[in-house]
Structure 1
Amino acid sequence: MKKLALHWKIIIGMVLGIIWALLSSTMGWSSFTINWIDPFGTIFINLLKLIAVPLVLFSIISGVANIGDPKSLGRMGGKTLLIYLITTVLAITIGLLLVNTFKPGKLIDEQSRIDNRISYEIWASNQGYEIKDGVNYLQDPAFFERAREISDLTKNELEEASVSDKLETATKQKETTPLQPLVDIVPENFFFSLTNNSLMLQIIFFAIFFGVCLLFIPTSKSKPVLDFVDGTMEVFLKMVDLVMQAAPFFVFALLAGVVSKMAGDDIGKVIEIFKGLSWYTLTVLGGLLLMIFVIYPLVLKTFVRNIPYKGFFKAMSPAQTLAFSTSSSAATLPVTMECVENNLGVDKKISSFVLPIGATVNMDGTSLYQAIAVVFLAQMHMIDLTIGQQLIVVITATLASIGSAAVPSAGLVMLIIVLEAVGLNPAWIAIIFPVDRILDMFRTVVNVTGDATVSSIIANGEGMMDYQEAKDPSDTFEVK
């Protein structure tokens, strides 16, 4: 086992975690798994988040201050944001193409879709929304009795415990001025920002501002500060090395806990959950896998010709497997930086600037999922969204993905905003909620793979990349 690459150890831990969870469900041990094994998975994520915030702070300061030329910083920042924006729009477009081609929402039985449609019309009438396609089932005498039965269910729909908190969060985000996102970037208390994972953009703003200011003061004054920043960053990178040695066990605990919470002591619950949402799940998975294994490699090959297909995935496999198990771009960020720098040969000046920004604003997997989810929910409620309404989905999902926190299931909050933008019921997120955690794992892999792709493109364009194919990814995390 000692000579086995780290990513294979993590994959083995993931598989064993799922097997244990299913076994514990069958044997009635779920309570034991949740109480005594799952906490180690929580500890793992907490450790990575503990390292991520200060690492982002010091790495961006170091990257910006070491660029040397402020003009290079502006050029690099513009290119980074432009490429991230292009990949996000591309991801949403692919999502819409897939959901409109396979129409997973229309594969549900007809009676269920009619009930859903009646429920939608009752909601739209109560909220003052116009019926999308002009068809009105509530005016058809054949559906009067069914409408009366469904009406009581609709009244209780917004009281779902798993949905109400997200509705409240989305409402707060809607009731802001157009420039509020810009205001939110600038912290009034930097130390408060450091203690709040949802304020990563404020930390990035401060780090860039601090690093730029270091460029404009004499070297004799800035050098001691830079030496401190670089030394501190190395300490946090060593923390990553140490934590990753125990990653296979932590991932085992994490996956065992996730599946046990879904299944309880009834393994049939997991089967039923995925049976009902199988077509939606397959469509989202198809889009996410297409991004990971086709789109990103094609984009990378277009701009960086010396990284082979297998070489890229070999280099990024530790970060990708960790992203899958944690469902958090922020928690995976320290490992992503290690893989990009040590395995792809991207200069630290590039990775420390591009990757933290990507972990915050680049949510290609989340954007693709939102596009599919909105159209799927419309289809299963017998609503045909027009091209114009789907364009609104593209624009809203793009903007929402930028504000999506790099933490598990944050995309659900953003999905509420996208649904409301096209006049659909935000409480419908409860329908896809059961499979969100599993899909969130794959979405995070897409996000991390996209970050690595963009950083490689930027580094190659700046002449700051030295890829060595023979390097073994497992060497990145060996404690000397």
Structure 2
Amino acid sequence: MLSWYFKTNLLVRIIVGLILGVVVGLIMGPQAEIFSPVGDILVRSLKMIVMPVIISTIIVGAGSVTPSQLGKVGAKCMGIYMLTTAFAVVIGLFYGNLFHPGKGLELAAGSVTLAPIPFNETSFWDVLIMVIPTNPFQAIAEGDVLATIFFCISMGIAISILRHSEDERIKNAGDSLFYLFEGLAEVMYIVIGWVLEYVPIGVFALIAVVFGSQGAGAFGPLGMVVCAIYIAFATHVLVVYGGGLLFFGVNPIVFFRKIKTASIAAFVTRTSSGVLPISMEVADKELGVDKGIYSFSLPLGATVNMDGTAIYQGVCALFIGFAIGEPLTFNQQMTIIGTTVLASLGTAGIPGSGAIMLMIVLNSVGLDVTPGSPAALAYAMIFGIDALLDMGRSCTNVTGDLAVTCAIASSENEINRECWSNISK
């Protein structure tokens, strides 16, 4: 009976759910609150998968990088990828603070309590120290995101060292642990797929509640979010990538012209991992990068380089803070930078992963997205337009993978300059 639902494109279903939620909310007004339990199911489902996703994907991501790859080229890749991700979230926070998306929504009006935000009296150095957990199991149980990420990265690197030991017994132990977490990651991808099937229904319910209480006034803040994020995307691509390429002796204008096939494919498909074969073809045929460089840097970038997603985290976190009347403090914004850079090491390059990562970032700054809370309503508004934002951030991610790959190849003199002699390509 429901085959028509599951056979319909997920993006189409989410858009239909968003539109229906807006219409029903405007028609029913405050009575749309009756849909709140339907939306709460989506929020609880997303919270259910957060910690398992962090643990499995980050350990697998860190465990996939071999010790030998952490040499000169590997260090350059990791260093530049993490640096550009930090720049990306800073740019996102800059435009978020500039545009103030969500300000005036007052989603917390009439609410009894708000989620506690514990950073007002905590120094930045205290936050850095608290990244190291005294009890990792307690950190996982309590949802301490930064501490959990730090522990998982450390564990993943240690597993990688075990897997490449010359002692067969130790190597087998490392492989067993790696495959265990890899299996858990694959299981979580399936569970994520199930949750995403429910997203259109949950989005309909939550958006209906928002527009039922806010009316047509909710359109402006959502438009401001889209505007701020896409301006941030353009700034990051032109300034960070363009400037970085110039620094490494690469013509950015020619570069952007040559990678258009991969960038457009990422924009349409909304996945950076899915267009990896296209990216590798572009790096080989169009950019003239040596296979030894791009065969390592591009798969690594599809796992750890999430600049578009980082921009999204910065703007959307500020939107939710403004929307519930609790603008994020400086220390909270610094925490967002740290969480985003670390969490990007295991974020899957698949459609919808940015919205799940946003839940992780919100938890790290005390914005607990509990069912029925103002933060949950603001989060639902973001989820409703996530597909539109996902296209831009996937395109930015893939552009960044190729930019870093080209820059590193140029610095190592592993690039065929003959491919650049005909700039009309």
TM-score by length of 2: 0.62
Q: 1:229-254 CA deviation, whole Å, 9 max, x = no partner? A: xxxxxxxxxxxxxxxxxxxxxxxxxx
1:302-321 equivalences under 5 Å are 302-305=247-250, 307-309=251-253, 311-321=254-264
Taking a change above 3 Å as real, the CA distance of residues 429 and 171 of structure 1, as seen in their structure-2 partners, is: farther
- Judged with a 3 Å threshold, the aligned counterparts in structure 2 of structure 1 residues 421 and 351 are, in CA distance, closer, same or farther, namely same
1:95 aligns with 2:92: yes
Matched, 1:116 2:104: no
- Cα distance change, pair 463–78 in 1 and its aligned pair in 2 (3 A): same
**Greater CA radius of gyration, 1 or 2?**
1
Any residues of structure 2 matched to 1:77-92 within 5 Å, and which? 77-92=74-89
Deviations 1:206-247 (A, max 9, x none): xxxxxxxxxxxxxxxxxxxxxxxxxxxxxxxxxxxxxxxxxx
Greater Cα offset, 464-473 or 389-398: 464-473
Q: CA deviation at 1:103?
A: 1.1
Query: CA–CA distance in 2 between the matches of 1:295 and 1:349?
Result: 25
Give the 5 Å matches for 1:30-429: 38=9, 74-106=71-103, 108=104, 112-113=105-106, 115-116=107-108, 118-119=110-111, 122-124=113-115, 171=143, 176=148, 178-184=150-156, 186=159, 187-188=175-176, 277-305=222-250, 307-309=251-253, 311-426=254-369, 427=376, 428-429=378-379
Is contact 2:149-2:342 (8 Å) kept?
A: no
Other-structure match for 2:405:
455
Aligned to 1:384, what secondary structure does the other structure show? coil
Secondary structure in structure 1 of the residue aligned to 2:404: helix
Residue 193 of structure 1 and its aligned partner are, at CA, apart by 7.4
Matches of 1:433 and 1:324 in 2, distance apart? 18
Q: Distance in 2 between matches of 1:174 and 1:289?
A: 29
2:396 to 443, 446, 457: 446
Deviations 1:251-297 (A, max 9, x none): xxxxxxx99x999xxxxx9xx89665111111111111222234311
Q: 1:333·1:355 contact (CA, 8 Å) conserved in 2?
A: yes
Structure 1: gaps spanning 5 or more residues: 1-30, 42-59, 65-69, 134-167, 201-257, 264-268, 474-480
Contact 1:87 1:364 in 2 (8 A): yes
1:460 and 1:131 map into 2 onto residues whose CA distance is 43
Structure 2 CA distance, aligned partners of 1:405 and 1:177? Answer: 15
Code of the residue aligned with 2:280 in structure 1: it is M
Q: 2:119–2:365: 8 Å Cα contact kept in structure 1?
A: no
Q: How many Å separate the matches in 1 of 2:142 and 2:359?
A: 6
Task: Describe the superposition over 1:381-418 as per-residue Cα deviations: whole angstroms up to 9, x where unpaired.
Answer: 22132212211111111112222111111122221121
What residue is the counterpart of 1:437 in the other structure?
A: 387
Letter in structure 2 aligned against 1:332 = V
Residue identity in the other structure for 2:401: D
**Once the two structures are superposed, what CA deviation does each residue of 1:145-182 show, in whole Å capped at 9, x if it has no partner?**
xxxxxxxxxxxxxxxxxxxxxxx999597895842234
Q: Structure 1, residues 106-155: CA drift from partner, whole Å, max 9, x if none? A: 2x4xxx41x42553x6133xxx656969xxxxxxxxxxxxxxxxxxxxxx
Query: What percentage of aligned pairs have identical amino acids?
Result: 33
8 A Cα contact 1:330 1:359, kept in partner: yes
State the alpha-carbon separation in 1 of the partners of residues 351 and 141 from structure 2. Answer: 15
Match of 2:44 in 1: none
Matched letter for residue 460 of structure 1? S
Indicate how the Cα distance of structure 1 residues 174 and 455 shifts in structure 2: closer, same or farther if over 3 A, else same: closer
Give the 3 Å change call, closer, same or farther, for CA 430–452 of structure 1 in structure 2.
Answer: same
Task: Give the counterpart letter for 1:441 in structure 2.
Answer: M
C-alpha contact (below 8 Å) 2:149/2:343 kept by paired residues = no
Contact 1:193 1:199 in 2 (8 A): no
Shift of 1:419: 1.0
**For residues 405 and 172 of structure 1, do their structure 2 counterparts lie closer, same or farther at Cα, with a shift above 3 Å needed?**
farther
How much has 1:198 moved relative to structure 2?
5.3
Alignment coverage as a number of residue pairs: 308
Residue 304 of structure 1: CA displacement? 2.3
State the 1:91 CA deviation: 0.5
